[in-house]
Amino acid sequence: MKILVCISNVPDTTTKVKFTDGKQLDTAGIQWVINPWDELCLTRALELKDGNPGLIDTVTVAHVGPASSEPTIRKALAIGADNAVRVNAESHDAYFVAAQLAEVIRKENFDIVLCGIESSDFNGSTVGSMIAEFLEYPSVSAVSAINIDGGEISVTREIDGGKEILSLQLPFVAIAQKGIAKEPRIAAMRGIMMARSKPIKIFEPEDIKPLTEVISYEMPPKKEACKFIDPDNPGELINILQNVEKII
């Protein structure tokens, strides 16, 4: 059994976002990391491999991005992934990324595909479902747990008012949210050293056109300074809420 974890290369959440010309992110000084939801997927995939010796052969990570994203891929290898695939292209949009990853899956024949529910930069929540549609694989969203017991695979997903447990046949795509693993696995020094020699297979992109184009970015308007109201003057607060902010 082969597991693929799709990973995104995203700015650390403490990054101060800047743009060069309104259309391009200023990448100077950005610390790039594995998308947090994808990192939890990778952790769970490695846990499944460790807990089912002989059943899961490899855990692979795949990413669509230029050579500059390879340090992030190496981080995934250091955490414990066996090998990696990089599609040598700028990510463009979700459709383009999903189509490229689907081609990788067709060529490499993975049994389980894990995707984080969204990326922390664009928050689109569409790549995993698109991959499943391209491949005509069954997919399960909002997955909070995945387990293998004696070869039987089950996933738990969050639904309104409770949880749903499903039994699945291979292959399938699982779109995971927080809860799939408790904490991301930390790379040990041995893993960091081994990651230097682990293979990254490079795929040239398929001729697939993105469906969207960025026209421009703009920063949200600055928030007004916080106004403090004397606790002994509730009338002023009511007046502001009613006549200025028109909330009540």
The upper half-sphere exposure of residue 111, i.e. CA atoms within 13 Å in the direction of its Cβ, equals 14
- The pLDDT confidence band at residue 41, using thresholds 50, 70 and 90, is very high
Average pLDDT, integer, range 158-180: 91
With a CB cutoff of 8 Å and minimum separation 6, the contacts of 228 are none
Distances in whole angstroms, Cα of residue 53 to Cα of each of 70, 105, 147, 228? 29, 23, 14, 61
Using a pLDDT cut of 70, give the percent of the chain over it.
100
Q: Which residue has the higher pLDDT, 60 or 222?
A: 60
The upper half-sphere exposure of residue 144, i.e. CA atoms within 13 Å in the direction of its Cβ, equals 10
With a CB cutoff of 8 Å and minimum separation 6, the contacts of 182 are none
Mean pLDDT, the chain, whole residue set? 91
Q: Which residue has the higher pLDDT, 120 or 41?
A: 41
**Are the beta carbons of 12 and 121 closer than 8 angstroms?**
no
Distances in whole angstroms, Cα of residue 120 to Cα of each of 55, 123, 176, 186? 32, 6, 14, 19
Task: Report whether pLDDT(182) > 90.
Answer: no
The CATH class of 2-221 is alpha beta
